[in-house]
Structures are given as structure tokens and as C-alpha cells.
């Protein structure tokens, strides 16, 4: 490309903007400084091989930059292929390689099944251990001596709540207080008096 330097204008340098023609986006920019920049060649490095690039130039001086030149298209050279060494590898029959591939597949499938089984066993073991620990903590709770019903609960005065500034000694909770034999006879007498 020939660059014609306009007369009566000082040029301090050039901006070279370039990008691959197949991409959209911002141009990459290189600054070439110096009053003699128009008289030299400049090589762009690190370009992709065998790629078309859009290139545009813009001159500048201490006052302002010029307008961009028309976009030029240029293709980089293809990548130079290095000579390949040929080494002889042992010939493997296709039957042997197919057998090896089938064996590898069986190993992968078996390993996956064993891994999944171990994972399920591990999760089940965790749940069993948690349940056992919970049951052990419930069974190890101390029973009160004067508990004559198996389903009554006592609240210790040290751990129980304080009501109106006093501490209650014991609270007995039964599942059905009317289930006792004494209460049945009492209730039968009470209902017979109410009917008469």
C-alpha cells in the first residue's frame, strides 16, 4: 500500500487498526510513532495463520487525528507444516483391538456399578447410625422412681420452668387420666347421681 504524505501537514505517527474479517467487535490498535513513520514498513505480529484481516490506518499529529483510510483486506500466510517423522508401530490386528475395547467397556461398567452400590450402602449406613444414636439417647433418659405409669413424664425442678416466681416440684402428665380403675368407679357414681 502506498501512503501519500500531504504537503504542509506534519505527521507525528500512525494508528494501525486491525481485526479478523470473520469477527465482529473492536479493532486491535498499534501505534507507530515518528515523523518518518510513513517511509518505513511495519510488521504486525501474532496474527492467526491463513486468516483474512481488515486493516485501516489513521495518521495523527499534535493537534488531531485524521480520518480513517478505507478498509483494506489482507490474508496471512498459511502455517508452515513441519516435516513429520514416520515411526513404525507394531501392527495390531483389528480383532485384538476390538477385544481390548470390549474389555475396557466391561471394566468401566463394572466399576460404575460397584461405585454406585458403595455409595448407596454408605448413605444407608449413615441413616442407620443416626437412628441408632437417636434411639440410644431416648433409652438412656433417667426414669423417676415414683413413676407407676409407664407413659408418665416428670419434670425436674432444676430444669423445669419457674411459674410466678416459684419452682414446681413435679408435673405428672398421663395419656388418659380417666383410664384408671379408681377413676372409672368414681365417674360411674358421679353419673348415676346426676341422672337421679
For the chain, give every domain's residue range: 13-75, 95-138
Q: What is the pLDDT of residues 7-20, one digit of tens each?
A: 777 888 888 999 99
The structure's pTM equals: 0.39
pLDDT score recorded for residue 43: 83
Helix H or strand E encompassing 192: helix 181-195
Q: Which residue has the higher pLDDT, 26 or 148?
A: 26
Cα 9-14-19 angle, rounded to 5 deg:
145
Percent of the chain that is helix, strand, coil (3-state, to 5)? 35, 15, 50
55 has pLDDT over 80: yes
Query: What is the chain's alpha carbon radius of gyration, rounded to the nearest angstrom?
Result: 47
Query: 3 and 41 in contact (C-beta within 8 Å)?
Result: no
Q: What is the pLDDT of residues 57-114, one digit of tens each?
A: 998 888 888 899 899 999 998 888 776 665 555 554 555 555 666 678 888 889 999 9
Place of cell 483486506: 73
Name the 3-class secondary structure at 13.
Answer: strand
What is the C-alpha separation between 45 and 22, in angstroms, rounded? 19
pLDDT score recorded for residue 152: 46
Q: Is residue 125 classed exposed, middle or buried when 0-12, 13-18 and 19+ CB atoms within 10 A define those classes?
A: exposed
What is the C-alpha separation between 20 and 54, in angstroms, rounded? 6
Confidence at 32, pLDDT banded by 50, 70, 90 = confident
Confidence at 117, pLDDT banded by 50, 70, 90 = very high
Cα 147-148-149 angle, rounded to 5 deg:
95
116 has pLDDT over 90: yes
Q: Which residue has the higher pLDDT, 37 or 17?
A: 17
pLDDT score recorded for residue 149: 47
pLDDT score recorded for residue 150: 46
Query: 172 and 154 in contact (C-beta within 8 Å)?
Result: yes
Q: Which residue has the higher pLDDT, 29 or 90?
A: 29
Does CATH number 3.50.50.60 belong to domain 13-75?
no
Give how far Cα 166 sits from Cα of 23, 50, 157, 158, 170, Å: 83, 93, 10, 12, 12
For residue 143 the three cell numbers come to 426414669
pLDDT score recorded for residue 94: 52
Q: What is the pLDDT of residues 122-181, one digit of tens each?
A: 999 999 998 888 887 776 665 554 444 444 444 455 555 555 556 556 666 666 655 566
For residue 115 the three cell numbers come to 461405585
Amino acid at each position: 500500500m502506498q501512503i501519500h504524505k500531504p504537503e504542509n501537514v506534519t505527521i507525528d505517527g500512525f494508528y494501525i487498526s486491525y481485526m479478523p474479517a470473520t469477527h465482529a467487535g473492536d479493532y486491535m490498535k498499534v501505534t507507530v510513532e515518528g515523523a518518518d513513520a510513513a517511509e518505513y514498513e511495519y510488521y504486525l505480529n501474532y496474527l492467526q495463520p491463513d486468516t483474512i484481516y481488515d486493516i485501516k490506518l489513521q495518521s495523527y499529529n499534535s493537534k488531531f487525528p485524521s480520518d480513517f483510510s478505507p478498509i483494506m483486506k489482507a490474508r496471512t500466510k498459511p502455517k508452515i507444516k513441519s516435516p513429520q517423522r514416520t515411526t513404525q508401530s507394531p501392527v495390531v490386528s483389528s480383532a485384538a483391538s476390538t477385544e481390548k475395547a470390549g474389555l475396557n467397556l466391561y471394566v468401566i461398567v463394572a466399576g460404575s456399578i460397584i461405585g454406585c452400590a458403595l455409595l448407596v450402602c454408605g448413605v444407608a449406613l449413615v441413616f442407620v447410625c443416626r437412628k441408632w444414636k437417636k434411639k440410644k439417647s431416648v433409652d438412656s433418659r433417667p426414669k423417676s422412681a415414683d413413676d407407676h405409669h409407664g407413659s408418665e413424664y416428670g419434670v425436674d425442678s432444676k430444669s423445669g420452668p419457674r411459674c410466678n416466681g416459684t419452682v414446681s416440684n413435679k408435673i405428672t402428665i398421663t395419656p388418659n387420666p380417666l383410664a384408671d380403675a379408681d377413676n372409672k368407679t368414681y365417674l360411674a357414681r358421679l353419673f348415676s347421681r346426676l341422672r337421679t
